[in-house]
Chain A
Amino acid sequence: MEKVMTVNNVTKTYGKKGEKQFQALKGVSLSVDKGEFVAIMGTSGSGKTTLLNIMSTLDKPSSGEVTINGKNIAKLKKNQMADFRAKEIGFIFQDFNLLDNLTARENIALPLSLQGVKSSEIDSKVDKIAAKLNISEVLEKYPAAISGGQKQRVAAARALVHEPAILMADEPTGALDSKSSRALLDTMELLNEKDQVSILMVTHDPFSASFADRILFIRDGLIDEEIKRGGMKRQDFYKKLISQLSENAD
């Protein structure tokens, strides 16, 4: 299986030398296959966001290696990193996703505009992804005027419009009610299955995690366990996950 991303023995220490230091990641290794949907779970403070930031080039590891699409991101210069993010990665965040002074359409178009894509192409791509995510009606509205679930789908559209190698999501359902969460997760699942979009999702919510093919558990800066869905139905996988978590808690 072709790998979109590998993380090799990555550590991250916060704080400068001589100051109070804190090791948030203590040697993490993992890989994501092309078209795979991976969830990362862990308690608050376990290092999930830190890991995601490193994998998405937003932060640098203290040691270790990250490759995305065969490229070692440590070798990239700052501007190349920005370009890399713009081209290869799509982001969905828990909140503050959308720029509130741009319409939904402009929000989705922005990554393409930044890459210098032709305007005619931008319009057709935006319309296509909007139709897929069922947000065509709200394209001309400002974020303040659309619902939370729609906002998150607009954010997903923005994350996917430039066809990135990997979609990264940090608590994408954190600010949504259960119905909107469900709709977003269904969309992500669909994109993953039909369009072979690779997804890496950070969450502490077992329901969200149950949509993934594989779940990694992180604890105190280390990957401590991994469970695979195999051919299991989602509902069954969810039950397995719950029992696993209560076992861990004991």
Chain B
Amino acid sequence: MIFKLSMTGLKSRLKDYLVLFSGLSAASMIFYMFLTLAANPSFLKSSVAGQLTMQSTKFIFSFGIVLLAILTLVYLAYANSFLLSMRKRDYGMYMMLGAKSSKIGQLIFAETLVTGLLATGIGIVLGVGLTELVSALMVKQLGLTLAHFNPLYLPAVLWTLLFFVALFFLAASWNAVRLTKTTLINLLKEDQKPSKLKSRPVLRTIQAIAGVALMATGYWAMWHVSTLQLKAIPIALVTIVLGSFFIFDAFFVAVIDFLRKRHGFLYKGMRPYTLGQLKFRLHGYTRILSAISIMLALALGAITVGINFDNLKNAMTDVMYYDFVLVGKQKKLADKVEKIGTEEKVTYSYKADEKKGVLYVNKSEIDRTPLKIKMYNAASSDKKKAIDKEGQIYHTVKVTSKTLTGKQTTATIRNSAQAARLFPEDSSKGFVALSDAAFAKKKLTTKVIAFYKVEDFAKNNKKLLKLIDQEMQLFSKNSMTYGYLEFTKPVLYQQIAAMCSGFEFMGLFLGLSFLMMLASTLMFKILSAAASDKLRYKMLYKLGARNSVLKSAIRKEIAILFVAPAVLGSLDVLFGLKFFTLLLPDPYFRIWIPFLAFFLLYLVYYLVTVKLYQGIVLEETKQD
């Protein structure tokens, strides 16, 4: 009997349930995708260079999972309270009809758990599809070939299930306890509670001013992050969180009150209603709106920073001058490299005394075509001071026999030349430059090494990577040469690129899932009030407000509720990105992309909310 009632209750709220459901499914879908990409052992295993990148990818995604788990927790709490508010009246009704509260408790428990499990199940299925798509995209970006990647990864399925089941179990217990402890009368009258609109103008004014002041302090701190350094973080965190709260709790209300007193402004069409409704709403929305503005900032920040990491990989490869190294005489490989188009090529012969750790080079050879390396511009770590006239922070240094042997150079150049490991063999005891005759006489095998600089490294990197891969196959894995080749430019570039793409994808997906969850949280909040707003719109309709007027009033009201936290959140991001000047070349690079993506996504949520809300509140005024 009760079960049947519960099913009919569900049916009548089907639309609301679908919204909740899709929100929950999206959460588990994204969670699954992260887990699969981060933990799947066959992912990226197929190439030698790929093995290296796997480590960083794994790390990045694990980090993403932790963040996502925290967010999911918060989101579920909101979604759950929506679910609860949705069902409260129904439960009250069952109780009135004589159902025992323990029975109701079981029912709520079962309902929450079943809803959660179903949503998780669907989310995982969708997650498999999404993973397929994302991995394909990543592979295309990184230029790797995947041998046995399967988007359906059982451990990830299990972990996702486990995590969500645990969360829903908690939510279900919480709901059961909450609802059975609320008195019957409160359950039934939940929607009709008179609005508590205490006006304490003095306190509100103080709060409003404090809110603006706190926000200003937070923004100031972030803007001056270079002088405040790490101190800026706690300052900004406290002031912005508190400030946002005050802004929504007092500042906006103060603005509305101000406008409501200006009758010249107020008495225009539906304005009295819209402003009254907004004030009434803001009261109950303070927490959610401030949370949204802050999380939105995090989401936008994640996307922006993610996109920026892509930028970083080019900057990081500036550290190395040569694009490719051939150890020994590799005719076939040399031809292939030359086919790519070489800008510069230098070849040296040398002899290595591996017991002593000394390398012998031919003096005339190295002085004729000195070896080039990249040096950091300044001794200090201050990046600003290091930028030269051409906007570079590295300059090219020519390494001659004198530099190599340390006779005519600074300690930094000598050290960095050694650190760069110019040759595969051990040179820890230094270099010796010999004349042609002396070099020829040395009783050690002559080795050759060729350094290449190619045309357009970024474009040809994937080809070079394949060649390095082939070159590495020629040496045993434990040899010094193998290790040396692992630190050549194509491999490092690939690694950094993998890390950057990882960050980029993580930023994007984390950001987008943040956004989706936020927007749906706000949607839930607005829609959960629709039932009680219905009477108000019916009233307005009877008073002679045209349906089109009512619709536009709804659009405006919801727009303000969406825009207010968006504006605050955008400001948070614009100032917050200053933090990343410590880490990234230009954190504001291509900032329009995340803003545009966010705008579009948010717009969709806004339109859906408006449509659903109008559907609920204008149900009875639609007659032909």
Contacts and interface: CB of A to CB of B under 8 A. Distances in A.
B544 A58 contact: no
Interface residues of A, number: 40
Contacts of B260: 106
A82 B267 contact: no
A114 B548 CA distance: 12
A27 to B, nearest CB: 22
A102 interface: yes
Interface in A28-76: 56, 58-60
Interface in B526-546: 535-536, 539-546
B331 interface: no
B264 interface: yes
A102 B263 contact: no
Nearest to B624: A78
A85 B266 CA distance: 22
Contact of B272 (A113, A116, A123): A113
A238 interface: no
- Among B542, B545, B547, find the residue whose CB has the most chain A CB atoms closer than 10 A: B542
A123 B545 CA distance: 20
B98 interface: no
Interface stretch (B169-177, B275-283, B340-348, B482-490): B275-283
B544 A83 contact: yes
A123 B195 contact: no
Nearest to B549: A114
Interface stretch (A1-9, A93-101, A183-191): A93-101
B206 to A, nearest CB: 22
B267 A96 contact: no
A112 interface: yes
Given A109-B267, A114-B549, A119-B264, A99 B539 contact: yes
B511 to A, nearest CB: 36
B268 interface: yes
B277 A114 contact: no
Contacts of A100: 194-195
A246 B355 CA distance: 126
B197 interface: yes
A218 interface: no
B472 to A, nearest CB: 72
Nearest to A56: B542
A106 B259 CA distance: 13
Contacts of A139: none
B270 A101 contact: no
A82 B276 contact: no
Contact of A58 (B270, B542, B546): B542
Interface residues of B, number: 33
Contact of A113 (B195, B267, B623): B267
A91 interface: yes
Interface in A107-141: 109-120, 122-123
A56 B269 CA distance: 22
Contacts of A110: 272-273, 540, 543
Contacts of A117: 267
A85 B194 CA distance: 29
Given A82-B545, A89-B544, A142-B197, A113 B276 contact: no
A116 to B, nearest CB: 7
Contacts of B271: 113
A242 interface: no
B538 to A, nearest CB: 8
Contacts of A86: 543-545
B623 A82 contact: no
B623 A99 contact: no
A93 B263 CA distance: 27
A102 B272 contact: yes
B544 A87 contact: yes
A114 B543 contact: yes
A162 to B, nearest CB: 9
Contacts of A91: 542-543
B547 A82 contact: yes
Contacts of A97: 539
Nearest to B272: A106
B546 A79 contact: yes
Contacts, number: 102
Contact of A144 (B195, B272, B540, B549): B195
Nearest to B260: A106
- Among B544, B548, B624, find the residue whose CB has the most chain A CB atoms closer than 10 A: B544
B574 to A, nearest CB: 34
A141 B197 CA distance: 10
Given A102-B273, A117-B267, A123-B263, A96 B535 contact: yes
A217 interface: no
Nearest to B533: A101
Interface in B276-308: 276-277, 279-280
A82 B546 CA distance: 5
Nearest to A111: B543
A222 to B, nearest CB: 25
Contacts of A103: 276
A99 B273 contact: yes
B276 A106 contact: yes
A101 B280 contact: yes
Nearest to B544: A86
Nearest to A142: B197
B553 to A, nearest CB: 10
Given A101-B195, A101-B276, A113 B268 contact: yes
Contacts of B280: 101
B545 A114 contact: yes
Nearest to B532: A100
Contacts of A58: 541-542
Contacts of B543: 85-86, 91, 110-111, 114, 158
A101 B281 CA distance: 9
Contacts of B540: 99, 110
A232 to B, nearest CB: 34
A112 B269 CA distance: 8
B269 A96 contact: no
A59 to B, nearest CB: 7
Contacts of B269: 113-114, 116
Contacts of B272: 102, 106, 109-110, 113
Contacts of B539: 96-97, 99
B276 A99 contact: yes
Contacts of A144: 194-195, 197
Contacts of B263: 119-120, 122-123
A78 B547 contact: yes
B619 to A, nearest CB: 14
Interface in B124-151: none
A225 to B, nearest CB: 29
27 contacts: A56-B542, A58-B541, A82-B545, A84-B544, A86-B544, A87-B544, A96-B535, A97-B539, A100-B195, A101-B277, A101-B279, A102-B272, A102-B273, A106-B266, A106-B272, A106-B273, A110-B272, A110-B540, A111-B543, A113-B267, A114-B270, A114-B544, A119-B263, A119-B264, A119-B267, A119-B268, A144-B195
Given A103-B276, A112-B267, 13 more contacts: A78-B546, A78-B547, A79-B546, A82-B544, A99-B276, A99-B536, A99-B540, A100-B195, A101-B536, A111-B544, A113-B270, A119-B267, A122-B267
Interface of A: 56, 58-60, 78-79, 82-87, 89, 91, 93, 96-97, 99-103, 106, 109-120, 122-123, 142, 144, 158
7 residue pairs, one from A and one from B, having the closest CB atoms: A86-B544, A85-B544, A101-B280, A119-B267, A102-B276, A144-B194, A82-B546
